[in-house]
Chain A
């Protein structure tokens, strides 16, 4: 059974700092998704990572995938308050057309 673990689950940081959220998963997969969720809202797709070594960047967020280590990272550069949200990684179960979510990382950026 595919398990997806994120850490940390909660992160409070100052504006302007850099930090990384980690997503580990337990079985083979080469499709990984990052989503953002604001309180009371739905999920917004941020990145889709489809192959080993994939790196994608959008603004202050950069995501990468290492399928051999079964690890994805979401790096935040020079954080700003607007990035405060919960970030989920989700992994597609190989051969089984559904995605399994991590518990999410609640990011709180202090002005």
Chain B
């Protein structure tokens, strides 16, 4: 059973470009969570999605950031018009229906904005 997969693992963007980060949850998992980790910091919750639904986006910046988890395909975190402050590691986690099971984290995408 493959784990949570994220791609790309490293992404470099110039200021003003768009960044698109992908997350494929573990097989059988229908819940996806996105977290951001700034250098030397803990993980900050961004958004929680189920298939075709955003359940909680209270941690998402109001502008430039969006997330989706379509019926088919991976979850995507999109950052438009990136700025240097968006440079961080973005982790995706997945869970099955039961939230007792710990979230399984993907390897992360390290975004660098130049």
Q: Does A70 contact B (CB under 8 A)?
A: no
**Interfacial chain A residues near B106, Cβ < 8 Å:** 42
Question: In whole angstroms, how far apart are the Cα atoms of A103 and B44 in the complex?
Answer: 9
Stretch at the interface among B66-74, B79-87, B96-104: B96-104
Contact with B along A68-97 (1 / 0, CB 8 A): 000000000000000000001010100011
Contact-size category for B: 20 to 34
Contact with B along A28-71 (1 / 0, CB 8 A): 00010101000001110100101000000000000000000000
Contact of A103 with B105 in the complex, beta carbons under 8 Å: no
Contact with A along B40-56 (1 / 0, CB 8 A): 01111100100000011
Question: In whole angstroms, how far apart are the Cα atoms of A31 and B98 in the complex?
Answer: 13
**Interfacial chain B residues near A97, Cβ < 8 Å:** 31, 48, 55-56, 99
**Interfacial chain A residues near B91, Cβ < 8 Å:** 42-43
Nearest chain A residue, comparing its CB with the CB of B46: A98
Question: In whole angstroms, how far apart are the Cα atoms of A98 and B105 in the complex?
Answer: 14
**Are A45 and B41 CB-contacts (below 8 A) given A97-B55, A98-B33?**
no
**Interfacial chain B residues near A100, Cβ < 8 Å:** 45
Least CB distance, B22 to chain A, in whole angstroms: 15
Nearest chain A residue, comparing its CB with the CB of B4: A42
Contact of A101 with B33 in the complex, beta carbons under 8 Å: no
**Interfacial chain A residues near B103, Cβ < 8 Å:** 33, 45, 99
Having A43-B105, A92-B99, one finds 5 other A-B pairs with CB under 8 Å, namely: A33-B103, A41-B107, A45-B102, A45-B104, A98-B48
What would be 9 A-B contacts, judged by CB atoms less than 8 Å apart? A31-B100, A33-B103, A41-B108, A43-B91, A92-B99, A96-B56, A97-B48, A103-B41, A104-B41
